[in-house]
Amino acid sequence: MAETISRREFMRYALVGAAALAGGVVAGRYLPLGRQVIYGIRRNLAITEALVQMVDQTFVYHWAFEDLSGMPPMPSVPGPLIQAIEGEEVQLTVTNTLRDIHGFRVLGAPGDVGAGISILPGETKTIEFPAPEGGSYMYFDHINLPVNRVLGLHGPMIVLPENGNTPYSKPTPNVQRLFNDLGTTGHFPGEPWKPERTRIWLFNSIDPRFNEMAENGQPIDAARFREEVLPRYFTINGESGAFSSHNHHTVPSGRIGQPHLIRIMNAGMNSDSPHIHGNHVYLTARDDAAGGRRVEENVRFVDTFTSESGELMDWLLPMRRPPDIPGDERVPLRELIPEELALTLGGVRQSPLKYPMHGHNEVSQSAAGGNYPQGMVTGYEITGDLDGVDFPQSPASEKGGPPEAH
């Protein structure tokens, strides 16, 4: 008798987490500084399905975008990062491999892309458009909104301006002044912002009951979904808890005076209020769920700001010396607190300095109905002093070996 295999066993597993974005953030235009830019965005995408592992090691069915140009091709949640320079011609070929109609829309982009495109089962459509003005964008399946988006069909798109020292083609006077001040004033000593110092935090919320309905081919009513969705998992770039807190593609990392831009996108159903420790951040831009774009006129200085479902916003993390560290600010931290920075406790080095980001919506910090803090959490790390010297390493790390346990 021939051995049979179930559809679930045959189904591929998705690449999850910021690794799904790494092809753009790490290997693309953002690293290293001064690397030659390759113009002409050509991506072949498929709308497919996959099993995605959650933080508690259970697998949840998702719809997913797949980059067919990858080696090897693999579905990913969120979808692969699309990067472009303003005005650059973008060509996306999208194939729907699923049994229902799906769509493709870029939130905030003009023309047909902004209005959304429907793709029949088995159909392939090519979408061409000039990259819009510099800023943060999210592409997603707009059919049966918000169901298809939340069930995995979403991803980030980043457009950089042709010129200037900000992430925006049309910065407001206050945003322009903020970026001009970075690295040139006493309040922001150090360096200016550089595009490679960018991180994406793409939030999502997952209720496996509806994912199971999709797996079984059951129709999902959008109104019922909005009323009954009860998320069990909360992710950043597809990961939660310890994984999103230790993924260097998600965690901003640099020395004092090396500012980072954090592009926050909310694909889920929750109103999330990410809260950051150690530094306040500047809210530099915000897009609402209706596609409205706004570079902020009044640059607010906050440690938390609410991100509604479907919204986007940008934070500038100045990477200033944390004000909660006592002592003379003229003394480098490696000299002020040398013992603490060189400590290894329980096999974990205490250098660099690490500060958390967690949500003020308490339920989003849990997973699987109460596993805390394995939800929507991450952080950032300060690796060295303003003068360009890194913090000391523990003796074991200096030798190249594993951290010494005490």
CA distance linking residue 379 with residue 355, whole number of Å: 6
Position 113 confidence tier, pLDDT thresholds 50, 70, 90: low
Please tell me whether the peptide bond between 110 and the residue prior to it is cis, using omega within 30 degrees of 0: no
Q: Where are the alpha helices (DSSP H) in 229-275?
A: 241-245
Domain positions in the chain: 7-163, 211-398
User: Domain 7-163 is classified in which CATH homologous superfamily?
Assistant: Cupredoxins -  blue copper proteins (2.60.40.420)
Residue 104 pLDDT greater than 70, yes or no: yes
Residue 399 pLDDT greater than 90, yes or no: no
Mean of pLDDT values over 278-293: 84
What is the phi/psi pair of residue 204, to 5°? -150, 160
pTM value is 0.89
Mean of pLDDT values over 290-319: 91
| pLDDT tens track for 114-146 | 668 999 999 999 998 899 999 999 999 999 999
Please tell me whether the peptide bond between 373 and the residue prior to it is cis, using omega within 30 degrees of 0: yes
CA distance linking residue 353 with residue 332, whole number of Å: 13
Position 335 confidence tier, pLDDT thresholds 50, 70, 90: confident
| pLDDT tens track for 261-281 | 999 999 999 999 999 999 999
**Better-scored residue on pLDDT, 38 or 155:** 155
| pLDDT tens track for 57-102 | 999 999 999 999 877 888 999 999 999 999 999 999 999 999 999 9
What is the phi/psi pair of residue 205, to 5°? -130, 140
CA distance linking residue 304 with residue 310, whole number of Å: 18
Q: Which fold has domain 211-398?
A: Immunoglobulin-like (2.60.40)
Position 393 confidence tier, pLDDT thresholds 50, 70, 90: low
The pLDDT of residue 58 is: 95
The pLDDT of residue 394 is: 52
Residue 254 pLDDT greater than 50, yes or no: yes
The pLDDT of residue 290 is: 61
Least trusted range by pLDDT, from 26-40, 69-83, 207-221, 242-256: 26-40
Give 102's DSSP letter: E
Sign of CA dihedral 198, 376, 73, 151: negative
CA distance linking residue 125 with residue 45, whole number of Å: 10
CB 315 within 8 A of CB 299: no
CB 378 within 8 A of CB 385: no
CA dihedral of 301, 307, 310, 314, whole degrees rounded to 10: 30
The pLDDT of residue 376 is: 96
The pLDDT of residue 341 is: 77
**How far out from the chain centre does Cα 240 lie?**
12
The alpha carbons of the chain give a radius of gyration, in whole angstroms, of 22
Q: Where are the alpha helices (DSSP H) in 275-382?
A: 333-336, 338-342
Mean of per-residue pLDDT scores for the chain = 86
Residues sharing a CB contact under 8 Å with residue 373, sequence separation 6 or more, in sequence order: 241, 358, 365, 366
Residue 242, classed as helix, strand or coil, is helix
The pLDDT of residue 326 is: 83
| pLDDT tens track for 1-44 | 344 334 455 567 777 755 556 543 322 333 223 333 344 578 89
Position 244 confidence tier, pLDDT thresholds 50, 70, 90: very high
Residue 283 token pair = 């809210």
Residues sharing a CB contact under 8 Å with residue 206, sequence separation 6 or more, in sequence order: 54, 60, 150, 231, 232, 233, 234, 235, 268
Mean of pLDDT values over 288-307: 85
The pLDDT of residue 4 is: 39
The pLDDT of residue 339 is: 74
The pLDDT of residue 327 is: 85
Residue 320 pLDDT greater than 60, yes or no: yes
Residue 403's CB: how many other CB atoms inside 10 A?
17
Mean of pLDDT values over 176-195: 97
